[in-house]
Structure 1
């Protein structure tokens, strides 16, 4: 069982999303498997998902790699229902004040970011903030309906520290915080819910900071 997500610091500055895969390869950043299948009895389908994460102080650099039997990216614009699509999510509490951010992105790089202390009454990032997150999607950036047949796709995000908009986060360096990584697809032919750190409750709910694990930035 994964007990911590360790995030390596790399020296590259002002990284674009399209560069992330090569940079993480060069820095030998290892993939972590996201495979806690917490609700397997009700949702038995289990896609394959790996994540690699690094930072350069000012940017969080995320690379998701997913293999699944159907890929969907219908949400027409940022701040839409991306969790209904083939979606990768990173939840992070950068400050120990009970709050956390949910960064959710579908296979076409369509994004939402929310902030708050629970599922209800979350504050959404504005368009100006969302636009600062650079994205690269192996399946392209245009929305698309269900593509059947098993395939592997990748998604990269270059997330500036300023995207954590409710905090004055100067740098990721040395942070020892809490978070989780998820894969979902609520409206896919076979809905599924995977997490990096397990969630021990009866029904799917990713908004559970009480089950976050340790996220340690070099």
Structure 2
């Protein structure tokens, strides 16, 4: 007798509430405080590592009339922010990332930030042949970084990064509003050149090969 076994794939969800008001580089601290009050989601799938090094990372996310608002909360032993130019390889530093595919599109944007807020943004279907978003658009992302360096090297550095991402950054889409929309997304933490390299995801990636660019494993983000 043959028994058919089916497996249910659980798709993770994150909810991004609407925050009224208009924000810019001068009001990022106010936005940061508002994001502190929103639900925090853990980035807690440690991938492709058996060293035991596991930074603590979470995020909160919302949207405004013209932007995505995103805040990361990080605790880690090794923190590095050496890259300062737009579209530098910030994944080599202490890096947090946000990948998003808008409704009905197989292509997605990868938005990557080091602890100082330097940004890299690309677009494409997978990790190969990605189109770099123009520097002037990436430069429009506003970042507010706060790093509390540990006095003892054995202790953890604690840092937060608040980001205001204008819809104009998504140059291959004409985004006017995200209200009542659902997209596919994933959130990450990495640090390729750190003393303890690591790869951590919000939505788990079932792959033996290290690769954040596997959109089949994206979860869902609902803008409400």
TM-score (norm. length: structure 2): 0.88
Match of 1:160 in 2: 166
Q: Whole-Å Cα distance in 1 between the matches of residues 191 and 91 of structure 2? A: 6
Contact kept in structure 2, 1:2 and 1:196, CA below 8 Å:
no
Match of 1:100 in 2: 108
Residue 14 of structure 1 pairs with residue 7 of structure 2? no
Question: Aligned-residue CA RMSD in angstroms?
Answer: 1.8
Question: Can you give the 5+ residue segments of structure 1 that lack an aligned partner in the other structure?
Answer: 141-146
Quickly say closer, same or farther: Cα 1:14–1:76, change in 2 above 3 A.
closer
Contact kept in structure 2, 1:20 and 1:62, CA below 8 Å:
no
**Superposition pairs of residues 71-90 of structure 1, within 5 angstroms:** 71-90=79-98
Residue 114 of structure 1 pairs with residue 122 of structure 2? yes
Q: Quick check: which has more Rg, 1 or 2? A: 2
**Superposition pairs of residues 131-146 of structure 1, within 5 angstroms:** 131-139=139-147
TM-score (norm. length: structure 1): 0.90
Q: Whole-Å Cα distance in 2 between the matches of residues 2 and 167 of structure 1? A: 25
Q: Whole-Å Cα distance in 2 between the matches of residues 212 and 97 of structure 1? A: 13
Residues 85-115 of structure 1: CA deviation (Å, up to 9, x unaligned): 0000000001322100000000011101100
Contact kept in structure 2, 1:90 and 1:180, CA below 8 Å:
yes
Contact kept in structure 2, 1:34 and 1:50, CA below 8 Å:
yes
Larger strand proportion, structure 1 or 2? 1
Question: Can you give the 5+ residue segments of structure 2 that lack an aligned partner in the other structure?
Answer: 1-9
Aligned residues: 209
